[in-house]
Amino acid sequence: MDNKLIVSNNINNLEYSIFSEEDVRNFLNNNLIDFGKANEELKTEQYDTENSYSILIVDDEPDVHKITKLNLNNFSFNNKSLEFSHAYSAQEAEKILKGNKEIALIFLDVVMETNDAGLQLVQFIRQELNNKLTQIVLHTGQPGQAPEKEVIAKYDINSYQTKTEFTENRIYTVTAASLRAYDALKQVKEYSETLEVKVAERTQKLQETLDAKNKLFSIIAHDLRNPFNTLLGFAYLILHQIDQSDKNQIIKYAKTIHSSAQNIFNLLTNLLEWARAQTGSIEVKIEKTNMNTVIKENLKIYDEIANIKSNKLIFEAKEDFFVQADLNMLNTILRNLLYNAIKYTKEGEILISLAEEGKMCKITIADSGIGIEKERLNNLFKIGNTLSTKGTDKEKGTGLGLHICKEFLTLNNGTIEVESEVNKGSKFSFTLPVYFS
């Protein structure tokens, strides 16, 4: 059998391979490879990493690059070809590795610009770049400079080969095994990153649940108790001072009792609606709904409360305007927004208007009240929002109503937004899909 030559620093170093010694000598002597020119060409190759594996050959001998590439010329793995990058020193390799994080496999020489340049590059890859995915095959023509057992024990490499044993079959086996390991590690990393995202999302949801629970306890312990204290206190005054009080005084007490009772009713309604939404027991029934009718019915509920504060409710009604919405949820949304407008406005106007914007109906409730501070607007619809502004008659708010409005509008394929300026008023606008017959 003819002597065969495979990658080596010494042209006389013979092994069995696909190339005979005579083939390679003729190949080199006939100047079929201009290594000076080849070096520059090899460095500037462009690669498609989606449909191929990126392979980096790091060796100071140009013939090692050429012959390694020739051995793998027709190699394919997982229906992906190989694309090669080339570095002729550890320093060059560092630059390539900094710019390309998708290199799957490195064939790495040990002795280059220094006796341990390849080993130092291994440390750079694993430690400084923190790259644990790329497979590193150390192949050396001077094993005495890097004994196998010592290198395997000390450096994080994936395979150790001497250049004399790097036959065609051996290159194929090492490359296939390395790429299989690379794919497996990459899948583990991607799964781990996906899992981290899911854990972060789940943690955020748990935090939101805890915030909601704490908010609920706060409402029950404080915000629900205070209106009852007012209710009980003024009822006691009427009961024990009715003979001493004139009619105007009793009317004043009755208005306060009515306001406190309304607060309690609204709060309990919101608590029940919120609890249903959190447990998933609420059923969304989308149907054709006349917005004019729904708004007028809700204005009747709040007309007396608006009169108590000398507020004027104005509805710019147009022809019948139909939307697609759950009627019960729509009533809850309107009640909350109308009540808030009245609560934060005194001796002013509250204007309700409708407008068609493409496939959506825009409902706007604008008041001339005390307005909302700019820093509060971004967190206005969040359940964990602890900032609360008192109404014009010192009514306290929980923020739960606006949170429910946002949740219910999401369930009805709608949106909500707010514009506000302190001492000038607020404008809440929400959208619902228009019903087209």
Strand 425-433's sheet: what is its strand order? Answer: 312-316, 349-357, 360-367, 425-433, 415-421
Terminal C-alpha separation, the chain = 88
Given this model, what pLDDT does residue 228 score?
77
Q: What pLDDT sits at residue 40?
A: 47
Residue 273 has pLDDT above 80, yes or no: no
Query: What is the pTM for the complete model shown?
Result: 0.48
The answer to whether the CB of 321 falls within 8 A of the CB of 290 is yes
Q: Give the SS3 label for residue 319.
A: coil
H/E stretch holding 432: strand 425-433
DSSP-assigned states of every residue in 126-140:
IIIS---SSEEEEEE
**Residue 295 · residue 352 · CB < 8 Å:** yes
Q: What is the pLDDT of residue 60?
A: 94
Residue 281: pLDDT band with limits 50, 70, 90: low
- Helices (H) then strands (E): counts for the chain: 13, 12
What's the full length of the chain, in residues?
437
Q: Which residues pair with 56 in a beta bridge?
A: 85, 106
- What digits encode the pLDDT tens for the residues 215-249? 666 666 555 666 677 788 888 888 888 778 788 88
Q: Which of 57-66, 260-269, 298-307, 383-392 has the lowest mean pLDDT?
A: 383-392
pLDDT in tens, 148-205: 888 888 999 999 988 887 788 889 999 999 999 999 999 999 999 999 999 999 898 8
d(CA 74, CA 228): 84
- Mean model confidence pLDDT for the chain: 81
Q: What whole-number percentage of the chain has pLDDT above 70?
A: 80
Query: What is the tens place of the pLDDT at every residue in 85-116?
Result: 999 999 999 999 998 889 999 999 999 999 99
**pLDDT average, residue stretch 8-18:** 36
- φ, ψ dihedrals at 101, nearest 5°: -95, 5
Nearest to 55 by CA among 178, 163, 165: 178
pLDDT value, residue 10: 35
Domains in the chain (CATH in brackets) are 21-192 (3.40.50.2300), 201-433 (3.30.565.10)
Please say whether the beta carbons of 181 and 189 come within 8 A: no
CA 118-123-125 angle, 5° bins: 90
Are 181 and 132 within 8 A, CB to CB? no
Burial of 121 (0-12, 13-18, 19+ CB in 10 A): buried
CA–CA distance, 54 with 177 (Å, rounded to integer)? 15
Residue 425: what pLDDT?
A: 93
Higher pLDDT, 415 or 252: 415
pLDDT category of residue 44 using cuts at 50, 70 and 90:
very low
